[in-house]
Structure 1
Amino acid sequence: MDVISHFRQESRTYAALGFVAICVIVLPVVIDSIWVKVLTSAVIFTLAAYGISLLYSQLGLVNLSQVALIGVGGWIMLRLNYAVQLPFELNLLVSAVITAFIGMILALPAMRMKGLYLALITLMVAGGFQIIFSAIQFPNGGAGFLGVALQSPGEMRRPLIAESDTAYLRYSIIVVVLGVMLAAAHNRGRPGRAWAMIRKSEANAMAAGVNVTLYKLWCFTLSGFLAGVSGGLLAGALKILDAKSFPAGESILLFALSIVGGVGHWMGAVIAGFLYRVVPAIFNNIGIDADLSLVIFGAALLHAIMTAPNGIAGQLSSLFQSLGRQNK
């Protein structure tokens, strides 16, 4: 049985790598320039959705400030871009680390809370950042700490290997895959085992010597890191960010779509990111108000809650397993 399980695990790994390879090589070639930008945005929000799924699936914690942290990562990325002449990758890493630290600080008051109270606190944090972004705006090459210029804004630099939109889509896919692999490594390692014990029973975890506060903060920090990477990539994709792009309500929507996609599987984050960005774009493309996509998302959320607790990814996984058994 161990050999069979190992073979199945390897098969899923190769299938995932094949899926990524197809996305990197084929997708940018067969779609036009507008959809390249839409898919780049969808890929970027996939990583942020994975951060939400990580907290909810591992610890049952609801984080409604993820989009705000994306904005934080984007702000820092833009500021570093204009302030220092460092490589894009280093700026991205610094942005992610600072965002992770901010996420950890914001999580401290919420460590003893869960459920509705934690959701409300993180939503209030998102609302606070929305006000801050509106007040200070995003850096665009101006002088001073805030770096806001009313005229002649600067230029956001992209990596030398990803200056075109097509190349940047491929670059974003690779970075997002690396981010998912980082989180998956945590799940398989000591943090994942500690999170599993905490999820089952905090009291039993503490009795077993698990530092519950530390590992909760660890998970929040990792989720914030993924949001920071997303924000940095988004700044590179759009080259300029706007305060209106990070309202508090978007965090609620992204969390809901993570549930719809399936928080227990990496594919669920992919589905959430694509629902979040691609479906409204399709509606706009065919002349329908994109806000109507919220009706579809609401119906999908009800379906997930009532009949598909593992989301679309869980249903697809069950379908593939059934097909595999039939083919034996």
Structure 2
Amino acid sequence: MYATFGFVAICILVLPLIIDSIWVKVLTSAAIFTLAAYGVSLLYSHLGLVNLSQVALVGAGGWIMLRLNYAADFPFEVNLLISAVITAFIGMVLALPAIRMKGLYLALITLMIAGGFQIILSAIQFPNGGSGFFGVALQSPGEMRRPVIAESDTAYLRYSIVIVVFGIMLAAAHKFSRPGRAWAMIRKSEANAMAAGVNVTFYKLWCFTLSGFLAGTAGGLLAGALKILDAKSFPAGESILLFALAIVGGVGHWMGAVIAGFLYRVLPAIFNNIGIDADLSLVIFGAALLHAIMTAPNGIAGQISTLFQAWGRQNK
């Protein structure tokens, strides 16, 4: 627990002071996708369900956030909450036809949903200040408002980290409540869960909805960070990559989502910075996924946890 608070404090108080403006933006993006990765991990760790539409839902949350920014004079936080709630509802609706499936079939359905989202977003475009619900400004884009306390990039990085921490805490709290107990029973045996009176369909939808809520929050934060979004930023294949990195990071621990977000955004940026093609990171990701599947089922976070436990036993 102390290590967790120490890590968050360093990220909020120290890190923004020792990095330049470019890396502030990169780390803001990494923090935001940490929240999206945690949503993927939530479904897989609690129910064993594979969701390959998470990045598409991030795009949906970003679209709603931008539209609200230009269409309504609400505070940033209100727009963010509305974006998260609507995206959660979208995630729940999209989960309805796939809720009774698992494994390869569920993965294929959610991947097809992600592909459909990409086509829709490409057709209607992201809002950039145009009038009306689907309005798009052809000349100059409008202004994306940020929170009053986080107008600079450095302040917005801190703001994003705080929101991400609250989002992870909200999702993690479910583990110790009635939904968490229901998810544990469902993952162990759906038949036994139903015999015990657990509404399997309801709690699966609950998990999908919560995952969508996290994705929508991430999308809203991303809209505030970049101020303008493009459909090309949310291809269907990115959801596969995010899921793979969640496995590499470790789906059973919050640190696994942090590692996934770091790998997803920071490693390609490092390669670009030193003059190496960022696509090379995909080779590293593939090797890391193979390593996780073969020798580290709990991911990098699980290995780190094991090392700390061994170190603690040695120093007793």
- Where on the TM-score scale, by shorter chain, does this alignment land: which range? over 0.9
**Where do 4+ consecutive residues of structure 1 move more than 3 Å?**
none
Spell out the pairing of 1:94-243 with structure 2 (5 A cutoff). Answer: 94-243=82-231
Which residue does 2:291 correspond to in 1?
A: 303
Measure, in 1, the Cα distance between the counterparts of 2:238 and 2:189: 31
* Offset from partner CA, 1:107-129 (integer Å, 9 cap, x none): 00011100000000000000000
Measure, in 1, the Cα distance between the counterparts of 2:219 and 2:145: 15
Q: Structure 2 unaligned runs (5+)?
A: none
Measure, in 1, the Cα distance between the counterparts of 2:231 and 2:193: 41
- Letter of the 1:46 partner, please give it: T
- Letter of the 1:119 partner, please give it: A
Match of residue 47, structure 2, among 59, 83, 90: 59
Match of residue 268, structure 1, among 256, 260, 272: 256
| Distance apart, 1:145 and its partner CA | 1.5
- Letter of the 2:261 partner, please give it: G
| Equivalent residues of 2:71, 2:131 under 8 A apart | no
Q: Matched residues, percent identical?
A: 87
| Distance apart, 1:144 and its partner CA | 2.0
Matched, 1:318 2:306: yes
| Distance apart, 1:18 and its partner CA | 1.3
Match of residue 258, structure 1, among 246, 249, 252: 246
User: What's the Cα RMSD here?
Assistant: 0.4
Deviates more, 1:235-244 or 1:142-151: 142-151
Measure, in 1, the Cα distance between the counterparts of 2:106 and 2:272: 35
- Letter of the 2:304 partner, please give it: L
- Letter of the 1:308 partner, please give it: A
Q: TM-score normalized by structure 1?
A: 0.96
| Equivalent residues of 2:28, 2:225 under 8 A apart | yes
Match of residue 266, structure 2, among 278, 281, 289: 278
Measure, in 2, the Cα distance between the counterparts of 1:60 and 1:91: 32
- Letter of the 1:227 partner, please give it: A
Measure, in 1, the Cα distance between the counterparts of 2:133 and 2:140: 17
| Distance apart, 1:69 and its partner CA | 0.0
* Offset from partner CA, 1:234-287 (integer Å, 9 cap, x none): 000000001100000000000000000000000000000000000000000001
Equivalent position SS for 1:206: helix
Measure, in 2, the Cα distance between the counterparts of 1:153 and 1:253: 31
* Offset from partner CA, 1:170-201 (integer Å, 9 cap, x none): 00000000000000111111100000000000
Q: Structure 1 unaligned runs (5+)?
A: 1-12
Equivalent position SS for 1:147: coil
Matched, 1:82 2:70: yes
| Distance apart, 1:72 and its partner CA | 0.2
Matched, 1:73 2:61: yes
| Equivalent residues of 2:57, 2:91 under 8 A apart | yes
| Distance apart, 1:15 and its partner CA | 1.5
Measure, in 2, the Cα distance between the counterparts of 1:147 and 1:321: 55
Measure, in 2, the Cα distance between the counterparts of 1:247 and 1:126: 8
| Distance apart, 1:14 and its partner CA | 2.0
| Distance apart, 1:315 and its partner CA | 0.2
Measure, in 1, the Cα distance between the counterparts of 2:282 and 2:31: 20
Equivalent position SS for 2:131: coil
Q: TM-score normalized by structure 2?
A: 1.00
Matched, 1:17 2:1: no
Measure, in 2, the Cα distance between the counterparts of 1:153 and 1:317: 46
Measure, in 2, the Cα distance between the counterparts of 1:182 and 1:317: 22
